[in-house]
Amino acid sequence: MEKEGKGRKIFEGFRKIQSTITFSFSLLIIATVVIFLGIALNNTRKTILDSSISYTRQIIRQVNYDIDSYITNMENISSVIVGSPDVSNFLFPDEGQNALQTSEEKDEDKEKYGVSVIINNAAEAIDEVAVSRERILSQFKTITESRGDIYNIAAVANSGRAIVNDGSEGLTDFIDVKNLDWYKAALDSETGIALSSSHVQNAIVSSYKWVITLSRAIYGKDGKRDGVFFIDLNYNSISDLCNNNPIGTKGYIFIIDDEGNVVYHPKQQLMYGGLLTEKIPEILENDADYMLTQEGSASKLYTMSKSEKTGWIVVGVTFTDELLAGMRQAQRIYLIVAAGLLIIVILLSAIISRRITKPIAMLRDSMRKMEEGSISDASVEITTQNEIGDLSRSFNAMTVRIRELMSQIVYEQDEKRKSELRAMLAQINPHFLYNTLDSIIWMAESGRNKEVVVMTAALARLFRQSISNDKEQMTIEDELEYVRNYLTIQKMRYADKLEYSINVDSDILKVDIIKFALQPLVENAIYHGIKYKEGKGTIEISGHAEGDRVVLSVSDDGVGMDDETLSRIFDGNKKDERSNGVGITNVQSRIKLYYGEEYGLEFASEKGKGTVATLTIPREKNIDEN
Amino acid sequence: MKTKLRNRILIILTAALMLAFGIFALIRYGKSGAKEYNLILIPKVIDETNGFWTALIEGAKLGASENSCNITVSAPEKEIEYEKQIQIILDSIEKKPDAIIVAASSFSETTGALQKVLDAGIELILVDSVIDTDLGVPIVATDNIDGGRQLGEYTRQFVKENSRIGMVGHVKDVSTAIEREAGMREGLGEYADRIDTVVFCGSSYDVAYELTCEMVETHPDIDIIMCMNEYSTVGTARAIDDLGLKDKITVTGFDNSIEEVQLIEKGVIKATVIQKPFNMGYLAAEEAIKGLLGGETSMNVDSGCLLITPENMYDEESQRLLFPFLGQQ
């Protein structure tokens, strides 16, 4: 119970089941949708990120592969040139040739080698060197012209002898090429091949270009590495390779060497200016082939691929918000669908709950009607076939049954009252009968036959009238007749004591009145008024219409009643021994029952002066007779 | 009544929820792109052969395109033509750009035109050079006093007992010349009184060459010449090289170009302070856009400088700054 406390409170707050259902449905659905969305979005994010990672990883591998093959291609070119005898012919001329070349420069040396054979040989050798030079230059020309990614192509001997590009350029005097990193690297490397990082080529006159140098050792005739062939690559091809595989519109690819020096970066100038930094130390330390970083509000994905061949690391940088653009789309769809679903569902739950609760509300309204007492129109229309329908049906059956029972009760009550009345009427007070019969006997003995006839006739009429019909009402005229018969008998019994007069307007004679309403009043006037009076008493019965009412009064000039007697006049049902069956109380309650509370009996009495009983009934009887 | 209220609350709750959804979606997905601003860069000169201005222009272009803004460049053909530059500034105002970046050619004459830029409600950024009046606009420049000081301090080692010093400036009364000279004097310290003459070449190699030849003749005692920009440094070095005096007269200077590098390698120039023109341009554009976006701008952005000597010129950092990585990608 305690546990449910809170939930109950929430739902008890609603006074309608519909609200409860709608609210709880909505809550449930919103919760479901939110949870679903959370899981779906999270999952989508993860999936998209995963696929983006594997996608960029693939691209980066591809770029790496492309660069490897690009470098391999360059190596092949270098191997072709280095392998040609022309290079070694040119770079490492024989002693003679060497001498001869020097002798060309210094005339006096010619004297030293004054032998014509030697000169001849030397001349041939010079020719040979010149031919080699031409061949090399044409080879260089072919290579550089066929591709746009080579700044410099050159072969240099340790002696300083060099052939550069188209032959018109030379090495600069200020730099000792043998001290340059790429030169030393080629000589020292195991394979004889070295690949530099980005650097300024300062070995060639008026170059000073940023290049990547591929250098390859040249073996001299002695089998030692006596020189270096090198190609200075510009960034055309590498940037093409990096940019041909776009990784998003904002994403980019850059290359670092194994020491972390930038080989290529699309914004190299910014990098060199110190305006842009990359997380190079982190990349070098990172073992996995990708890493996610958070820089301010932007989250970046770094994907790395290290080349075994060059030692370079190709790094792809993608912005996760761009990667997740697809997710945005998905999210948008999810959200729109969710919002749409929510609206539909809330509407539906409102409609459904309304459909469920409408019969209940109808049932409630019917019950309220029944509660208020109008059973006749309390039945409810059955609109559903479910439990509520059953309930309505049962309710309808119940109202029918109640209606039946009630009409039965009304009928039975009616019957009961009638039979009671009948029983009461049937037993005309025996004392009255004995007394009357005693009077008749007494009159007969004294030979007052005429009077006997009158009294007996009146008694007979009285009895006939009382059992004549079982109607509850009779006309005032008939009632007066009954009273008159009764008074005839009583007057004869109380010969000198009783006088009476009847003054009833003739226009009300045909008005219906409940049976035996007046007689008990007259009887009351006699037994409580006249009887104890000394001397003659008079009873006056009058009647007239007062608007839609009829007022009948029975007044006597007897002893009257004190206030106490008057106040107890309607008390109980105790029957006067001598009363003719129907008492005052009975008359009063029958009038109220038949005509309503506003009608009835009223008594006014004054001790020693007499009593007035006033009876009010409606002129038009408006009760239904059943 | 109470039920009605409940229902109303429920409806409002639902509506609020929908609204929240909508707003969420709007915020998440309704991001509108940043505005595309139009910038105009007015350097002192457009000269393909001049590494400094080329790099500055390139930097500004990149800075603008990084922020997806447009930039146009216009400038006189000669650095000394400050009247032309003023006309260009006035013409640029007519084009109603969002921002103008100016490298003022004159310390005092340009001020009026620049004030008009501000009056027209255009964002103004000064780059490289300052003017005589403080307009309260961002300035992106090399700390020229510091650059001069570095050069002065380095040059001290060449000062011998009887050394006399000559100076070849670029344009008299431009802020860069004034500041660099002041910095050099500061760096030289007590040797500052060895300065016998200061001449200005008007940013012309030939004038610098001739002035140097004259100086060597008229001031035979001078064995150190300090120059203040690329034109003066190269012009002076050429003269010294041609006169064969490179072992007798020490030349130190400012800025860099291929020729200057060669002259350093050759041993004619003993030191040069290089600026970071690319950074300068980039930062100026960035600063302009920052100002347009309503962000906080820095009043003085030092784009930095570096002393280059024959010994360190192929160091990683030096070669990155000495040899612009331009047009190579």
Q: Are A436 and A493 in contact (CB under 8 A)?
A: yes
User: Which domains, from first to last, does chain A contain?
Assistant: 369-402 (no CATH), 427-618 (3.30.565.10)
CA distance B256 to chain A (A): 12
pLDDT at residue A427, rounded to an integer: 56
A261 touches chain B (CB under 8 A): yes
Tell me the pLDDT band of A13, cut-offs 50, 70 and 90.
Answer: low
Tell me the pLDDT band of B225, cut-offs 50, 70 and 90.
Answer: very high
Are A200 and B322 inside 8 Å of each other by CB?
yes
Q: Are A136 and A155 in contact (CB under 8 A)?
A: yes
Tell me the pLDDT band of A363, cut-offs 50, 70 and 90.
Answer: confident
Q: How many CA atoms lie within 13 A of B12 on its CB side?
A: 6
B258 touches chain A (CB under 8 A): yes
A326 touches chain B (CB under 8 A): no
Least confident of A65-79, A388-402, B26-40, B181-195: B26-40
For residue B62, give both structure tokens.
């990149």
For residues A586 and A584, what is the distance between their CA atoms, to the nearest angstrom?
5
Residue A106 pLDDT > 50, yes or no?
A: no
Residue B213 pLDDT > 90, yes or no?
A: yes
Q: Are A228 and A236 in contact (CB under 8 A)?
A: no
Are A16 and B3 inside 8 Å of each other by CB?
yes
Q: Search chain A and give the residue with CA nearest B264.
A: A174
A426 touches chain B (CB under 8 A): no
A26 touches chain B (CB under 8 A): yes
Tens digit of pLDDT for each residue in B132-144? 888 888 899 889 9
Domain with CATH 3.40.50.2300 in chain B: 38-142+277-298, 144-274
Four-point Cα dihedral A421, A427, A431, A433, nearest 10: 110
Give A450-456's long-range contacts (Cβ < 8 A, gap of 24+): A451/A492, A454/A488, A454/A492, A455/A488, A455/A489, A455/A492
Residue A138 pLDDT > 60, yes or no?
A: yes
pLDDT at residue A428, rounded to an integer: 60
The whole-chain average pLDDT of chain A stands at: 80
Q: Are A585 and A519 in contact (CB under 8 A)?
A: no
CA distance A232 to chain B (A): 13
**Reported ipTM:** 0.77
Of A206, A209, A331, the CB nearest to B328: A209
- CATH architecture, range B144-274: 3-Layer(aba) Sandwich (3.40)
Tens digit of pLDDT for each residue in A443-488? 889 888 888 898 899 888 888 887 766 677 788 988 898 889 888 8
Beta strands in chain B (DSSP E): 38-42, 70-73, 99-102, 123-127, 139-141, 164-169, 195-200, 222-227, 250-254, 269-275, 300-302, 305-308
Tens digit of pLDDT for each residue in B263-293? 998 889 999 999 888 889 999 998 898 888 8
Scan residues 172-231 of A and list those with Cβ closer than 8 Å to B: 172, 174-175, 199-200, 202, 206, 208-210
Cβ atoms within 10 Å, residue A4? 9
For residues A535 and A10, what is the distance between their CA atoms, to the nearest angstrom?
86
B112 touches chain A (CB under 8 A): no
Residue A177 pLDDT > 60, yes or no?
A: yes
Q: Which residues pair with A601 in a beta bridge?
A: A615
What is the separation, in whole angstroms, between the first and last Cα of chain B? 76
Q: Which residues contact A33 (CB under 8 A, 6 or more apart)?
A: A338, A341, A342
For residues B296 and B299, what is the distance between their CA atoms, to the nearest angstrom?
9
- As a whole-number percent, the residues of chain A with pLDDT over 90 amount to 5
pLDDT at residue B26, rounded to an integer: 62
Cβ atoms within 10 Å, residue A569? 19
Scan residues 343-402 of A and list those with Cβ closer than 8 Å to B: 343, 346
The whole-chain average pLDDT of chain B stands at: 86
Provide mean pLDDT across the span A42-65.
85
Q: Letter for the amino acid at B26?
A: L
Tell me the pLDDT band of A624, cut-offs 50, 70 and 90.
Answer: very low
pLDDT at residue A521, rounded to an integer: 87
B189 touches chain A (CB under 8 A): no
Give contacts of B327 with chain A, Cβ < 8 Å: none
Residue A97 pLDDT > 70, yes or no?
A: no
Are A338 and B267 inside 8 Å of each other by CB?
no
Residue B227 DSSP SS3:
strand
Q: What is the pTM of this model?
A: 0.63
From its phi and psi, is residue A536 left (phi > 0), alpha (psi between -120 and 50) or beta?
Answer: beta
Q: Which residues contact B228 (CB under 8 A, 6 or more apart)?
A: B167, B168, B169, B170, B176, B177, B180, B181, B253, B254
Are A261 and B316 inside 8 Å of each other by CB?
yes
Residue B321 pLDDT > 80, yes or no?
A: yes
Tell me the pLDDT band of B180, cut-offs 50, 70 and 90.
Answer: very high
Q: Letter for the amino acid at B242?
A: D
| CATH code linked to domain B38-142+277-298 | 3.40.50.2300
CA distance B60 to chain A (A): 11
Tens digit of pLDDT for each residue in A284-301? 888 888 888 887 777 888
Are A335 and B261 inside 8 Å of each other by CB?
no
